[in-house]
Structure 1
Amino acid sequence: MARYKNTTVLKIIGAKIKSQRIKENLEIEDVSEMTGFTYNTITNIESGAETYFSYFIEVCFALGIHPKELMDIKLTVKPRFELSPSRMEKSRLTSRIKAYIQNGYFKTPRKTNEVVKKLKEDYKIDVESKNVSAIIGRFAKNNVLRITKIGKRNLYTNK
């Protein structure tokens, strides 16, 4: 798969860098010396080629300008792809379970099916036990919840 790059934005930023360099009466060689980057690296950045963010920052410093000033461009701010309904629901589910953890629901050991029932009561949603289990498992893996095994069942409690 080819790497993604937003060529339109890169070209705009590159042109702004070049304009700032010219405004500062600097040659490409000057910026090259101040950054330690090659002549070709600087020309590539100015022409809108893909670059490392660290390179961009160093070029801005060499030009005596804060990077945010060069990033101040008119853009249509929207994600490249829309969030799918299933991913959106999983995110919502994660935040709801996180709220349960923060509000002490897991002070008492809980099974996955108890959490599923609570979600249905509180939010009127039908959610699959496997999805709830996966989310709770991530909280346990990140040491937010503790897992206790009772036979084949897991009980989850606050740490």
Structure 2
Amino acid sequence: MKTKTNKTKKLRRLALAAALLLILALLLAFDAINGDPLSQQWAIYRAIRYAEKLYPEETFHWDQRTAADGQFFHYMVYVQSDQSRDTNFAVQTRFWLLTDDEIRGMEFEPTHTFYVDHRWNTAYRLGDEAAQQVAAYLTVQAP
């Protein structure tokens, strides 16, 4: 009789362990697809620290007009400088630890340092502002 009770206890423990592993796998799958708030906040923190390390004379914040999206443990966070409205770029945080400013699949595209340091962000912003002024003028002058 003792062997039957031992087998039952072992089977119960094994079933409990399998159930816990299944629950953990489902939670990780849900987290991988949808992201979670804790990882999102960690990615925002890491992105701000990364940007402040690149540009030590400036302070940064998370650009809340853009979402800090996360799927499959990759979070893309857009940071904005408090001192210059033209110093903004995306930072990718992968697996909670690795921080990178390169977006995968865009190896041949210029990096954010190219846009910030060569003033392309400023040129784009000034071009958009000029286009808006011209559009407003044309709507009044030539409806």
Which has a greater percent of strand?
A: 2
Q: TM-score range by the shorter chain?
A: under 0.3
TM-score with structure 2 length normalisation?
0.25
